[in-house]
Amino acid sequence: MTATIYHNPRCSKSRATLALLEDRGLQPVVIDYLKTPPSAAELDRILSLLHMEPLELMRKGEEAFKALGLDDGTKSRDDLIQAMVDNPALIERPIVVHGAKAAIGRPPESVLGIF
């Protein structure tokens, strides 16, 4: 079964997570999610696998988070997911998906539990 990493090559945690997987002989599918963001349906699936709600997966320090008023309590789950699709920099990184499991690589070693 192949793993997928939603990766940002400029992020040190993302690079470290990818290196950790490769050091263990894993060859994950690498998706630069800033260039190829997940669809709303895929993001919803990832959230389910992570057992998280959209706000928990968002990078709250991003300018778009504040500009879009995503923490005002008025946005639906679908609205929040669409905001991440439209502004992928809002998505916490890296995310590794393996089968029916997913983990965020913060710290990078946290992804090892899904294998």
What gap in Å lies between CA 27 and CA 98, rounded to an integer?
Answer: 12
- From the candidates 4, 11, 13, 32, give the one annotated as an active-site residue: 11
Beta-carbon count within 10 A of 109 CB: 12
20 is catalytic: no
What is the set of active-site residues? 11
